[in-house]
């Protein structure tokens, strides 16, 4: 049974994350009981966040198989939310079953370290397979539109999220001080904290709307605050968790902040198109899982390719 | 009786509830209107498009409450063989009802339902009388109003379900995962009006829930 390597640095990073969550939860509880503030909403959000972090840690601590099953489950939940939102025709049910099966296949491919096939599987082979299945169904009314929407769903919820699995198999030699766990921790924490910082800076200083037709709450001040804050945090975390130099870390942070922003507003545009506020009610206080992972859909692939550009990653098959 | 309850409990706890919540997923609106089945009986009324409807509605309750819920189902479909009858009565706890009314009296026809309601159990009934084909609400049969009229202090709870028509439509065998939406309206009590009027009132409540579902949310 293969396990993930938790180095000294990775362990400390996880301990610090839990301490921060515990501190925030304690602060909210004190605010509720001592200062009688109405923080119930914040409390529910924090609790959900804690549960997600806990599930992530447990899945990755146990062994490699549980971690990949966990990631596949996240993709499954995201894809299910996506197809539940879009209108489908009755004949699309048969096509959708094939799309669903691509999820375990994708994660199995990553699990076997076959990176090349992963790069091609959904963009090329699923693209062809879905077309073939839909042709066999024989319903040409809305053929192109339904096919394209389904492919979009697979690209975002399975292909883009699959990059988390690909980051998880980056070999130890590429990142001796924290390993793949450190890199995953780095990307997940930066993506979430970027969301938070953009919202926080937007609330504090927000004046000029950045993209009013899609997301009226997003401001230039929030965006710039997010980019600066995320770069700063990236330099700090990058020093302990990645092999990046200071400038590489700062640049990675800025790239993640910009992509995270675009991932967020892309999902907003989709939701606006479909006329829904939240993608589901799965996570109490947060909405659906797609609402929460929207930024990650863009940051995970970009981070992997940035890392692969700076350091040659050699993923060998067979393990 | 114990044997029956035991299997129904396990069936829902370990198979149906995990399947509904983990594999399919449910968004519930108006959960506060959901009756405390252990406290008082009620008549749950919903639109009907798929066999999933029943499993979905029952899964909204805790396993111990599910023991007190009985879906009313067509005898000619679910109980036409001994094996089917035994399975559905044991695992789901359904109450069969004849769709073709012969020369039986009203009391005789609804006897099992009335017995259940009077002993504090809850029933689920689909007044459309059969599964729809395209997720539209067909006309309601008045049986539900007769039941309500015979038990005037038991509340009727209208529910609109969206989604099961995609998960397992009528005539399909392939289950495809989708998230279902369940909208629960405030309870209605029988008000002494003619049964046809009361049936329309229940239908209007279900249709109002459908409109709520179809309304675009302001972002």
pLDDT tens digits for range A143-177: 999 999 999 999 999 999 999 999 999 999 899 99
pLDDT over threshold 90, residue B90: no
**pLDDT at residue B1, rounded to an integer:** 67
| Domain spans in chain B, listed from the N-terminal domain onward | 2-214
Q: How much is the pLDDT for B182?
A: 94
Whether the per-residue pLDDT at B118 is higher than 60: the answer is yes
The nearest CA of chain B is from the CA of A94 a distance in Å of: 8
Q: Tell me if A97 and B174 make a contact (CB, 8 A cut-off).
A: yes
Percent of chain A with pLDDT over 70: 99
Tokens 């606006």 label which residue? Answer: A272
- CA-nearest residue to A217 within chain B is B219
Cβ-defined contact of A272 to B219 (cutoff 8 Å): yes
- Of the listed ranges A14-23, A55-64, B42-51, B78-87, the least confidently predicted one is B78-87
The tokens describing B33, both together, are 């209107």
Q: Which strand ranges, in their side-by-side order, compose the sheet holding B43-46? A: B26-29, B180-184, B156-162, B43-46, B122-125, B69-74, B95-97
pLDDT at A202 exceeding the cut of 60: yes
pLDDT at A26 exceeding the cut of 80: yes
- pLDDT for position A161: 95
Which of the listed ranges A43-47, A108-112, B92-96 does the model predict with the highest average pLDDT? A108-112
Comparing C-alpha atoms, which of A205, A287, A189 is closest to residue A241?
Answer: A189
Look at residue B162 in the predicted model and tell me its pLDDT: 92
- Of A93, A277, A280, which has the smallest distance from its Cβ to B217's Cβ? A277
Contacts of A276 in chain B (CB under 8 A): 216-217
If DSSP codes are grouped into helix, strand and coil, which group holds residue A173? helix
Per-residue confidence band for A38, with pLDDT thresholds at 50, 70 and 90: confident
The C-alpha atoms of residue A202 and residue A200 are separated, in whole angstroms, by 5
User: Which candidate in B25, B167, B211 is best for mutational testing of the A interface (most A CBs within 10 A)?
Assistant: B25
3-state secondary structure of B123: strand
Contacts with B28 from chain A: Cβ below 8 Å: 281
Query: pTM for the complete prediction?
Result: 0.93
Q: What angle do CA A67, A69, A75 make, to 5 degrees?
A: 105
State which residue of chain A sits closest to B168, comparing Cα positions: A93
Measured in angstroms, the CA of B13 and the nearest CA of chain A are apart by 20
Record: contact A280-B25, CB cut-off 8 A:
yes
Q: Could you tell me which residue, A316 or A183, shows the higher pLDDT?
A: A183
Alpha carbon separation from B8 to B21, B64, B118 (Å, rounded): 18, 10, 21
Q: Which residue in chain A is spatially nearest to B23 when comparing CA positions?
A: A77
Q: Which residues pair with B69 in a beta bridge?
A: B122
Q: What is the mean pLDDT of chain A?
A: 92
Task: Say yes or no to pLDDT of A210 above 80.
Answer: yes
How much is the pLDDT for B218? 66
pLDDT for B107 equals 79
Q: Which residues of A touch B (CB under 8 A)?
A: 77, 80-81, 83-84, 88, 90, 93-94, 96-97, 100, 268, 271-272, 275-277, 280-282
A282 band by pLDDT with thresholds 50, 70 and 90: confident
* pLDDT recorded at residue B219: 61
Average pLDDT score over residue span A217-233: 93
Residues, chain B: 219
Whether residue A319 has pLDDT greater than 60: no
Tell which residue, A102, A100, A133, has the closest CA to residue A118: A102
Q: Chain B: which residues have CB within 8 Å of chain A? A: 25, 27-28, 163, 166, 169, 172, 174, 176-179, 216-219
Q: Report CB contact under 8 Å: A90, B169.
A: yes
Q: Which CATH number fits domain B2-214: 3.40.1130.10, 3.30.2130.10, 3.20.20.140, 3.30.565.10?
A: 3.40.1130.10
- Whole-number mean pLDDT of chain B? 88
Give the chain B residue whose CA is nearest to the CA of A272.
Answer: B219
B102 pLDDT above the threshold of 80:
no
Whole-number Å distance between alpha carbons of A46 and A25: 7
Taking the C-alpha atoms of residue A190 and residue A194, their distance in angstroms, rounded to an integer, is: 6
Inspect the interface and report whether the beta carbons of A280 and B179 lie closer than 8 Å. yes
C-alpha distance from A71 to closest chain B C-alpha (Å): 15
Strand, coil or helix: A194: helix
* pLDDT score at A318: 60
Which pLDDT does position B60 carry in this prediction? 92
Strands B122-125 and B69-74 turn out to be parallel
Nearest CA in chain B to A99: B176
Query: What whole-number distance in Å separates Cα of residue B175 and Cα of residue B167?
Result: 6
The residue assigned the tokens 């362990």 is: A11
Which tens digit of pLDDT belongs to each residue from B159-215?
999 999 999 998 888 999 999 999 999 999 888 889 899 999 999 999 999 999 888
Q: ∠ CA B182-B166-A104 to the nearest 5 degrees?
A: 105
**Residue B34: per-residue pLDDT:** 82
* DSSP 8-state symbol, B141: P
Q: Among residues of chain A, what percentage have pLDDT more than 90? A: 73
Find the residue in A nearest to B21 (Cα): A282
Q: How far apart are CA B168 and CA B176, in angstroms?
A: 7
Contact B219 A100 (CB under 8 A): no
Residue A273's Cβ-count burial label (10 Å; 0-12, 13-18, 19+) is exposed
Q: Do A84 and B172 touch (CB under 8 A)?
A: no
Enter the ipTM.
Answer: 0.89
All residues of chain A having their beta carbon less than 8 Å from the beta carbon of residue B169 are 90, 93
Residues of A in contact with B172 (CB under 8 A): 93
Interchain pair A84, B178: CB under 8 A? yes
* Size of the A and B interface in Cβ pairs below 8 Å: 41
Q: Would you call B25 and A97 a contact, using CB atoms and an 8 Å cutoff?
A: no
Residues of B in contact with A80 (CB under 8 A): 25, 177-179
Averaged over B61-86, what is the pLDDT? 88
CB contact under 8 A, B217 and A276: yes
- Nearest chain A residue to B167, by CA: A93
């Amino acid at each position: 049974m293969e396990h993930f390597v938790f180095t000294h640095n990775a362990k400390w990073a996880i301990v610090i994350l839990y301490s921060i969550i515990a501190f925030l939860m304690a602060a909210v509880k004190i605010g509720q009981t001592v200062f009688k503030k109405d923080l119930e909403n914040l409390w529910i959000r924090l609790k959900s966040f804690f549960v997600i972090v806990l599930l992530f840690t447990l899945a990755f601590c146990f062994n490699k198989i549980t971690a990949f099953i966990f990631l596949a489950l996240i993709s499954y939940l995201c894809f299910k939310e996506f197809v539940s939102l879009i209108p489908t025709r009755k004949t699309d049910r048969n096509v959708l079953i094939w799309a669903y099966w691509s999820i375990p296949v994708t994660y199995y491919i990553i699990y076997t370290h076959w990176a090349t096939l992963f790069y091609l599987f959904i963009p090329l082979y699923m693209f062809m397979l879905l077309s073939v299945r839909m042709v066999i169904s024989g319903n040409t009314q809305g053929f192109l539109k339904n096919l394209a929407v389904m492919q979009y769903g697979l690209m975002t919820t399975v292909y883009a999220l699959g990059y988390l699995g690909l980051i998880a198999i980056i070999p130890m030699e590429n990142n001796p001080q924290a390993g793949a766990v450190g890199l995953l921790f780095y990307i997940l924490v930066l993506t979430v904290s970027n969301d938070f910082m953009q919202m926080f800076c937007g609330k504090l200083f927000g004046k000029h709307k950045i993209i009013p037709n899609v997301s009226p709450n997003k401001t230039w001040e929030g965006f710039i605050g997010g980019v600066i804050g995320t770069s700063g945090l990236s330099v700090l975390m990058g020093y302990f968790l990645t092999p990046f130099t200071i400038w590489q870390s700062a640049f990675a942070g800025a790239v993640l902040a910009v992509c995270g922003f675009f991932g967020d507003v892309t999902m907003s545009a989709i939701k606006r198109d479909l006329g829904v506020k939240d993608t589901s009610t799965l996570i109490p206080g947060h909405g659906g899982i797609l609402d929460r992972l929207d930024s990650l859909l863009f940051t995970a692939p970009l981070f992997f390719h940035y890392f692969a550009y700076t350091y040659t990653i050699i993923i060998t098959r067979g393990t | 009786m114990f044997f029956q309850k035991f299997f129904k409990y396990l069936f829902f706890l370990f198979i149906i509830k995990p399947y509904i919540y983990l594999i399919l997923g449910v968004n519930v609106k108006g959960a506060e209107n959901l009756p405390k089945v252990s406290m008082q009986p009620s008549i749950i009324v919903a639109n009907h498009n798929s066999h999933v409807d029943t499993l979905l509605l029952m899964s909204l309750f805790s396993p111990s409450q599910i023991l007190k819920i009985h879906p009313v189902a067509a005898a000619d479909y679910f109980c036409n063989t001994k094996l089917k009858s035994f399975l559905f009565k044991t695992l789901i706890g359904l109450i069969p009802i004849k769709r073709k009314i012969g020369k039986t009296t009203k009391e005789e026809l609804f006897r099992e339902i009335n017995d259940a309601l009077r002993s504090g159990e809850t029933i689920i009934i689909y007044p459309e009388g059969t599964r729809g084909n395209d997720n539209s609400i067909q006309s309601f049969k008045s049986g539900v109003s007769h039941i309500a009229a015979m038990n005037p202090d038991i509340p009727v709870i209208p529910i609109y379900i969206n989604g099961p028509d995609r998960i397992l439509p009528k005539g399909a065998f392939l289950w495809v995962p989708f998230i279902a939406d369940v909208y629960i309206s405030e309870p209605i009590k029988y008000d002494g009006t003619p049964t046809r009027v009361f049936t329309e009132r229940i239908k209007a409540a279900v249709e109002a829930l459908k409109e709520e579902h179809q309304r675009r949310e302001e972002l």
